[in-house]
Amino acid sequence: MSTINASTRRIAQLIVIAGALMLPKVAATSSADGPGVPDRELQRLASDARTADLRGDWNGLDRAHERIASVPAPAGGRAWVDYYLGYIDWRRSALASMAEGRSGTVALLLHAAQHLLRALEAVPEFTEARLLLVIVDGGTMNGDPAQVAELGPRVVANARQVVAEAPNNPRVKYLQAFMGYYVPGRTRE
Average pLDDT, the chain: 82
Highest mean pLDDT among 12-21, 34-43, 160-169: 160-169
pLDDT digit string, tens, across residues 79-100: 999 999 999 999 999 999 888 8
Cβ pair 160, 180 in contact under 8 A? no
Measured CA to CA in angstroms, residue 59 lies from 51, 52, 54, 68 at distances of 12, 8, 13, 14
Fold held by 2-187:
1.25.40
Residue spans of the domains in the chain: they are: 2-187
pTM score: 0.79
Res 127 pLDDT > 50: yes
Average pLDDT over residues 125-146: 92
Q: How confident is the model at residue 50 (pLDDT cuts 50, 70, 90)?
A: very high
Task: Give the CA dihedral 8, 138, 151, 87, nearest 10 degrees.
Answer: 180
**Cα torsion at 102, 105, 106, 111 (round to 10°)?**
160
